[in-house]
Chain A
Amino acid sequence: MNQAKRKNKKSKSVYAPGPDQGALESHTLAIIVKNEPGVLARVIGLFTGRGYNIDSLTVAETDHEEGMSRITIVSSGTPEVIEQIKESLRQLVPVKRVRDLTTFGPHIERELALIKVASTGERRIESLRLADVFRARPVDSTLESFVFELTGTTEKVDAFIDLMKPLGLVDVSRTGVAAISRGATTHDEITD
């Protein structure tokens, strides 16, 4: 964010030049929060207030009895910025745990997408054929349209959407990434 601006700033500024930006990394964070009013705004506000990126965001209550929600954020930044994001999140009062699934290693990321394709004739048949290849299910159909339900990685969803474009793609709704670590552990005992 604002990287171009920062570089162009010549020394008229009263502040020192900003640090050189290193390579950006994408990290998937699972943030377990107390489900209280304003908690999402607080987490998002931290990202906007400090100029961090959000590439994807999903949130839902995961433990109704304890009143806990899980926010999954895919963010990109230099390794230092990613560390800052995690530590800043941990300072928020309603944040109980922050897990960086990317540094933990093996984990699964999935997105759900609902994709509406409106076409007739050969294009309509082709869209259904491709949906079959991608294991996308038609969940609604009329004589001139399909709504496909597709789960998969972000890349898979992107690829399917690209293929649907010439076949009459009219609307896309996707959830953003939900992610969880592989294996028996939740990695809570590991501090990253």
Chain B
Amino acid sequence: MSTKEAKTEAPKTAPAETKKLTGAEMVIKALIEQGVEVIFGYPGGAVLPIYDEIFKNQDKIKHVLVRQEGGALHAAEGYARSTGKVGCALVTSGPGATNAVTGLTDALLDSIPVVCITGQVPTFLIGTDAFQEADTTGITRPCTKHNYLVKDADDIAETVHEAFHVARSGRPGPVVIDIPKDVQFAKGEYHEAKKLEQQFYQPKTQPDMAAIEAAVELMASAKQPVFYTGGGVINAGPEASKLLRELVKETGFPITSTLMGLGAYPAANKEWLGMLGMHGTFEANWAMHDCDVMINIGARFDDRVTGRTDKFSPNSTKVHVDIDASSINKNIHVDIPIVADATEALRAMLDVWKKRKYKADEAALKKWWDQIEKWRAKNCLAYKSDSKIIKPQYALERLRYFTEKDARDTYITTEVGQHQMWAAQFLGFNEPNRWMTSGGLGTMGYGLPAAIGAQMAHPDALVVDVAGEASILMNIQEMSTAVQYRTPVKIFILNNQWMGMVRQWQELLHGERYSESYTESLPDFVKLAEAYGGIGLRAETPDELDGVIEEMLKTDRVTIVDICVDQKENCFPMIPSGKAHNEMILSPDADQFDKSLV
């Protein structure tokens, strides 16, 4: 190891003499220069030279061995989402790369900065159907922001630096670097990042001031305004959340957020309307429908948010701040488009608001808030409590109660389905970067590896994966990873033995024909946890719930908590397909609701 150190130190002491490094050495050197501390991966034939360098640089870069490459990508996403840094993954050629595809697509749809290095068969074997060969750049082209096939060792350092730059600038996203094995062995010249950065692509981040001024003027004259914010505010960094809070305070406008944007504005504040969209709150969706001015910051009018587009917020003038110009006017026509970073746009809006001494129309705003309070009074998240069966909503309310009491910082990840929507509705988020969920792609199996990634970045924090019994089985093998690295994630399974959201839709849309949505032969999750070397707990009645949650929070080991919840519970409110924001199903009572709405 000492000879290796001498090698990498050499250029610093004697810059004139540029010593050539192997491709694999340069990969690791570039990763270290980019500030990578943790890399999630799985070795294989075509990346062995890089793994060799990881072995030699264990003191500088920590490798986390996942149990399937898909887990590596989700873990990198969890790491990135909880820190704001670029997540990093390393997988082998062929099946390693194809297993990574779901995670890459997930990161693309949720705009998560991830760099994934894939091994490739040697250049002279490319195109020969070699062992473990796959056209990685071809396969990943539509599911990455950008990708590279490096064919010359001299290009490695520059490519890695550019990949990180591309992943984190503009609208963040996943980037793949495919490196053939012979290029990993070949020697080349290392280039430092600093000299290169200006040459890379530079997306626009500064807002057009005329548009900002028009937007702020519109806000000042608004009678029924609403802020609609999204993941872009989280991606822009903590400063954006701070500015958003200030802007809401200055204006006194109500605010709602997409699934991806939860935490940018505190759920505890009175201006907070809750999440909007298909399973959003009554007040948030009605406010969106009836508003006269909508200020969208960093959200993309997703179909799960808008419902029926031709009936979406029919009477509002819309402002849309987005760093991605192609998101503007894609789904919904907006009146004032602003292509900018959310931080810069919010800062500019606040400046103009203050400088021009604008005041919100108090009288109109009071009337608007009175209306919103009436919607709020519907108490749309109410559910029938039960003394014998655990309601999933109740389980989450208790989880929230205990985590809020806990002194540690809490990070929540989820899988996908009913439990995800309930978690979004019932766990309040007060800080950005504390909520990690697969929003755009809806990837079951995301939560556990993402939790491991988040826990890696925040070893002292409390990380809980709110899961369903079906989703958790999709990446259950990562239990082994969590135990190996002592990342004490807590897996909180709302177990109803059904793919709950599938069952809910079959009940509402497919004549209660429950095709393949019931899981027989589920594992005993308590024993499963123990088999992996973790702790398993179970709650079957509401009386047992508090004790189990307290026990879960006490232990410093990987824990699966199996909460046996009501099998029939559905997730409400719900905007049925093809309906508008003002056509929600509210009643949690299955007998009562109007099926003609569906």
Contacts and interface: CB of A to CB of B under 8 A. Distances in A.
B307 interface: yes
Interface residues of B, number: 29
Contact of A87 (B137, B325, B578): B325
A168 B325 CA distance: 51
Interface in A55-84: 80, 83-84
Interface string A88-116: 10111110000000000000000000000
A80 B579 CA distance: 23
A94 B310 CA distance: 35
A16 B309 contact: yes
Interface in B122-164: 137-138, 141-142, 145-147, 149
B506 to A, nearest CB: 12
A38 interface: yes
B329 A16 contact: no
B141 A91 contact: no
Contact of B326 (A14, A16, A91, A94): A91
B578 A17 contact: yes
A15 B303 contact: yes
A49 B326 contact: no
Interface string B379-417: 000000000000000000000000000000000000000
Contact of A90 (B145, B325, B333, B579): B325
Contacts of A83: 329
A42 interface: yes
A42 B328 CA distance: 21
Contacts of A21: none
A16 B308 CA distance: 5
Interface in B569-598: 577-579
A1 interface: no
A51 interface: no
B196 interface: no
B54 interface: no
Nearest to A83: B329
Given A45-B142, A49-B142, A87 B309 contact: no
A183 interface: no
A87 B309 CA distance: 21
A151 B324 CA distance: 40
Which of A14, A80, A93, A94 gathers the greatest number of chain B CB atoms within 10 Å? Answer: A93
B273 interface: no
B330 interface: yes
B330 A93 contact: no
Contact of B328 (A15, A45, A49, A87): A87
B326 A84 contact: yes
A93 B579 CA distance: 37
Contacts of B171: 91
A66 B159 CA distance: 18
A14 B509 contact: yes
Contact of B201 (A15, A49, A87, A93): A93
Interface in A1-37: 11, 13-17, 19, 37
Nearest to A93: B146
B135 to A, nearest CB: 10
A41 interface: yes
Interface string B500-516: 00000100010000000
Nearest to B331: A19
A4 to B, nearest CB: 20
A91 B138 CA distance: 19
A41 B578 contact: no
A19 B138 CA distance: 32
B303 A93 contact: no
Contact of A11 (B147, B310, B578): B578
A11 B597 CA distance: 12
Interface string B173-201: 00000000000000000000000000001
Contact of A80 (B166, B307, B329, B578): B329
B108 to A, nearest CB: 11
A93 B137 CA distance: 15
A42 B578 contact: no
9 contacts: A16-B308, A16-B310, A16-B577, A16-B578, A37-B149, A87-B325, A91-B171, A91-B326, A93-B166
Interface of A: 11, 13-17, 19, 37-38, 41-42, 45, 49, 80, 83-84, 87-88, 90-94
Given A17-B308, A38-B138, A84-B329, 12 more contacts: A11-B577, A14-B505, A14-B577, A15-B577, A16-B577, A19-B309, A38-B141, A38-B149, A84-B326, A90-B326, A92-B146, A93-B146
Q: Which 6 A-B pairs have the closest CB atoms?
A: A87-B326, A16-B308, A14-B577, A16-B578, A93-B146, A88-B326
